[in-house]
Amino acid sequence: MSGETETTAYDLIFPRLDSFLRSMQAIGDVDDFVSDSSLSLNSVENSFVVQAKRLFPGVDSEVHLRAAEYIHPQIHLRMNSVERLKKKKAGKSSIEQWTKAWESGMKRKLAELTGDEEYFYKYARVWNSMSTTGEKSKLIRNSLLMAAVSDFEVLISGLVRAFLELRPEIIKSAETKYSFSDLEPFSTLDDFRRHCAENMAETLLRGGFDDWMEWFGSKRKIRVEEVTENAPILVEIFQRRHLLVHNGGKVNKFYLSKVSGNSTPSEGEVLGVSRTYLKRSLDELTIAGIKLALSLVLKIGSNQKDLEEVDHYIYHLSLDFLTAESWRVAHRLCDWQLSFVQDSETRLIASVNRWVAKKEIDGLESVGEEVEAWDVATLDGRYRLAKYSLLEKNKEAYALAKSLIARGDIDRENWRDWPMLRGVRRYEAENVDEQSRLWVSSFGDEHEH
């Protein structure tokens, strides 16, 4: 077997975390698309046209729309008329006679609109399929939650494998014994260690969330609040996924034995995934994945570069989340960073980003007192700008921003992109002549195919 190749926590962990975060973002994007599509179909007529175009693409959309505008009030006419007949104690034969006459009128009109008498039956199929649109959205969100939890499991698997590759002595201490024949298929010691790590990881991952967190927390001393311990929300997410996969979402005794809380459902109740629940779950899984992965780097980072990269990584993540208006994730990420960060400059940046997020969540009053007490007299002008912005002293902030740009202390891209300046940019848009604004092109780079 040949020699070993040195690897670092940076090499093994950050790419896995990046992949996980992209997956969480993609699932959120799909949910946004589903929600936006549902909103655009709030009109019964629009929904009808979309369904009709899908089922019968050969017919012009205008024909489908005219049919929808006729069918919708006719459906209400039938509903109201049948209800009135029932209140008048009309017999079954009278209701059937009225319905047949109504159907005949529908057939004639739809044949006139489409040129085909069969469209009475075709459009009946369209109308019936519309009634399941809301149900389809629920099913999609169920699947999205399953995908999100599966992606978290993939991250856990990758972190376990990374940990074992970086700490091969754990493999040596395992009870599994290997013979020379077991070594023969591998050309390097690294290959064999990766194989052993795969076996240990697969064995661990056959367990559940509690087993994984015990492995990190109790056995590897990587304790992360609200992840490896005191994590009831994560536990419930995993248990709901389990219900959806194995029990059609119906609450059973096993679920109830694992979860607790004031809003615990009753046995037999069917749980689904609302948009609010999915968004909260994505946030919880995202912050848990970040905390666990970066705690692993902090625990076993082999050099100063690994540790510095954690602060650098969180800084960029925080900006990304703030820009995307993922306020709760940004707030919790910065709050967590402040519990261990040592560098004074990084601490200041994390504090500002935390205030920005908290202000968006709970309003200016939630951070005003802290920010007012923040002494920026001896700090860089960027921090004075941050204080003005947070306190919504937009006139002063705008004047200072212009001064800082003129001196080259910040650039126009900072003005355009920094989340903390959202309110100041609104102030400029409302109060400053367009020719005098701190404008910067968002599409200035040349492009070639």
Judge whether 183 and 1 are in contact, CB under 8 Å: yes
Tens of pLDDT, residue by residue over 129-176, are: 775 555 667 888 999 999 999 999 999 999 988 888 888 777 665 555
pLDDT of residue 135: 63
Q: Residue 290: CB partners within 8 Å, gap ≥ 6? A: 17, 21, 314, 317, 333
pLDDT of residue 202: 81
- The domain locations on the chain are 9-36+135-300, 41-131, 375-440
Tens of pLDDT, residue by residue over 377-424, are: 999 999 999 999 999 999 999 999 999 999 999 998 999 999 999 999
Tens of pLDDT, residue by residue over 22-35, are: 999 999 999 888 77
The token duo for 436 is: 């005098």
More confident: 279 or 303: 279
pLDDT of residue 47: 77
Instruction: Report the alpha-carbon distance of residue 322 to residue 417 in Å, rounded.
Output: 10
* Claim: this prediction has a pTM higher than 0.85: no
Instruction: Report the alpha-carbon distance of residue 95 to residue 81 in Å, rounded.
Output: 9
Q: Which run of H or of E encompasses 10?
A: helix 9-40
Tens of pLDDT, residue by residue over 172-186, are: 655 556 666 666 677
Supply the mean pLDDT for the chain.
Answer: 86
pLDDT of residue 205: 80
Range among 117-121, 167-171, 428-432 with highest mean pLDDT value: 428-432
Would you say residue 5 has pLDDT above 60? no
More confident: 447 or 436: 436
Distances (CA, A) of 87 to 82, 90, 358: 9, 7, 57
Instruction: Report the alpha-carbon distance of residue 218 to residue 215 in Å, rounded.
Output: 6
Q: What DSSP letter does each residue of 155-209 carry, written as one string?
A: HHHHHHHHHHHH-THHHHTSS----HHHHTT-SBHHHHHHHHHHHHHHHHHTS-H
pLDDT of residue 88: 86
